[in-house]
Amino acid sequence: MWNFSAGPAQLPKTVLEQVHARLFNFQGCGCSILEMGHRTDEIRAVFATLEENLRTLLQIPRHFDLMFMQGGGRMQFAMVPMNFLQETGCAIYCVDGTWSKGAQERALRYGQIQTCSMGADPFARATAEHAYAYYCDNETIHGKRFACTPRKHGARGLVTDMSSNFLSRPIDWEEMGLVWAAAQKNFAPAGLTVGIVRRDWLNMAYSYTPTMMNYASYAYGHSMPNTPPVFQVYVAKLVTDWLLAEGGVERMDRRAKARSQLLYDVLDQYPDLYVHEVPRAFRSRMNVVFHLPNEELTQEFLSVARQNDLYYLEGHRSVGGIRASMYNAMPIEGARRLAFVMKEFAKKV
Ligand code: PMP
């Protein structure tokens, strides 16, 4: 079965096998990791290894702190302005899809928000009055991504939502203030959100910010201001072990390009059947989104796909159509199979 779900999504098979094999007895402790206290040496070591693995994979400079949080993406929509907006009371948001729009709408409650849209240089207007410049690196629903990291210009730094392409491309830390990602797509099961923050961006939160929404609580408290999601962190650690063994983030980037190209080639070959609206320069490598001319053909396509073992290809409920999500764990064979089925379908209808 090939799983094209947008999230929660496919995890590497070897990671699931390790979880399965070790579920009842974690490192000879005699009990499951699901039953262990988070302040034990074993669990602290899992957190520390995950942090070191991420530092290696993404070449995170030492003046950035890592934070393992809960609350998912939408909690970040509020945490970002609560923690960073006070400095100038104003920020700029690049709005180019559902998730950046959601973040911008939430931020409006906390200060003055200007907007811009995706393009070659979205933050060209950013000045020192902008406490940060916010964007979503990969819009999961619309299948759009930034081809390269935008420049922050006058803004103090970028805040980047990488929920659906975290660990699939290198990060330009020079521009960044905060990178955050909800884990459930490319990293771990739902329930974990990772944040990587410049240390000198901490301690600027509005005084009304709850402790559990203050980044400093996580950065200074080893991500344990309360009971953390130990199991999710453990799976994330296994995923990063796997990524290191597989050759790292650049390798993932190349694989993602190869996988998505197989599908984009078919879309370009049959543009009347597979309608695709994202400009070439912004095509996502994680989520290939298109639609067929009518609902009947869409349902027929999905049914043929299922007969060929290709599952969860339905587009997001807000836009319909088809979405093929292919994160790091998707082998190239999955993309090949889908491309083949798409071609065969196009020849028949
Ligand atoms: N940002 C992006 C890019 C997303 O794809 C999603 C959807 N998971 C979110 C934010 C919202 O995440 P959550 O469902 O955890 O609130």
Question: Per residue of the chain (349 residues), what is the pLDDT tens digit?
Answer: 999 999 999 999 999 999 999 999 999 999 999 999 999 999 999 999 999 999 999 999 999 999 999 999 999 999 999 999 999 999 999 999 999 999 999 999 999 999 999 988 999 999 999 999 999 999 999 999 999 999 999 999 999 999 999 999 999 999 999 999 999 999 999 999 999 999 999 999 999 999 999 999 999 999 999 999 999 999 999 999 999 999 999 999 999 999 999 999 999 999 999 999 999 999 999 999 999 999 999 999 999 999 999 999 999 999 999 999 999 999 999 999 999 999 999 999 9
Tokens of 255: 């694989």
Res 159: pLDDT: 98
* Gap between the Cα atoms of 166 and 104, Å rounded: 20
What stretches of 71-226 adopt beta strand conformation (E)? 90-94, 112-116, 133-136, 138-139, 144-145, 158-161, 176-182, 193-198
The residue whose CA has the least distance to atom 7 of ligand 1 is 73
The residue whose CA has the least distance to atom 3 of ligand 1 is 163
Res 213: pLDDT: 98
Q: Which atom of ligand 1 is nearest to the CA of 75?
A: 16
Q: Is 96 in the pocket of ligand 1 (CB under 6 A)?
A: no
Q: Is 163 in the pocket of ligand 1 (CB under 6 A)?
A: yes
Q: What is the pTM of this model?
A: 0.98
Res 85: pLDDT: 98
Q: Is 143 in the pocket of ligand 1 (CB under 6 A)?
A: no
Contacting residues for 10 by C-beta, under 8 A, at least 6 apart: 3, 327, 329, 330
Residues belonging to the chain: 349
For a mutational test of ligand 1's pocket, the pick from 69, 74, 192, i.e. the residue with the most ligand atoms closer than 8 A to its C-beta, is 74
For a mutational test of ligand 1's pocket, the pick from 140, 285, 289, i.e. the residue with the most ligand atoms closer than 8 A to its C-beta, is 140
Q: Is 99 in the pocket of ligand 1 (CB under 6 A)?
A: yes
Nearest to 263 by CA among 287, 281, 299: 287
Q: Which atom of ligand 1 is nearest to the CA of 184?
A: 8
Q: Which residues are catalytic?
A: 99, 161, 185
Q: Which atom of ligand 1 is nearest to the CA of 102?
A: 10
Q: Is 161 in the pocket of ligand 1 (CB under 6 A)?
A: yes
Tokens of 322: 């088809």
CA-derived radius of gyration, the chain? 21
Res 341: pLDDT: 98
Res 119: pLDDT: 87
Q: Is 136 in the pocket of ligand 1 (CB under 6 A)?
A: yes
To which H or E segment does residue 112 belong?
strand 112-116
Contacting residues for 307 by C-beta, under 8 A, at least 6 apart: none
CA 345 to ligand 1 centroid distance, Å: 32
* Gap between the Cα atoms of 221 and 184, Å rounded: 23
Task: Give the side-chain half-sphere CA count within 13 A for 185.
Answer: 25
CA 72 to ligand 1 centroid distance, Å: 7
Tokens of 236: 């994330």
Q: Is 76 in the pocket of ligand 1 (CB under 6 A)?
A: no
The residue whose CA has the least distance to atom 13 of ligand 1 is 73
Name the DSSP letter for residue 327: -
Q: Which atom of ligand 1 is nearest to the CA of 139?
A: 3
* Gap between the Cα atoms of 11 and 257, Å rounded: 19
For a mutational test of ligand 1's pocket, the pick from 70, 161, 163, i.e. the residue with the most ligand atoms closer than 8 A to its C-beta, is 163
At position 17, the amino acid (one-letter code) is E
For a mutational test of ligand 1's pocket, the pick from 99, 135, 146, i.e. the residue with the most ligand atoms closer than 8 A to its C-beta, is 99
Cα-Cα end-to-end distance for the chain:
25
Q: Is 194 in the pocket of ligand 1 (CB under 6 A)?
A: no
DSSP H helical ranges for 143-247 = 215-220, 230-246
CA 327 to ligand 1 centroid distance, Å: 15
Give the phi and the psi of residue 180 in degrees, each rounded to 5. Answer: -135, 155
Q: Is 74 in the pocket of ligand 1 (CB under 6 A)?
A: yes
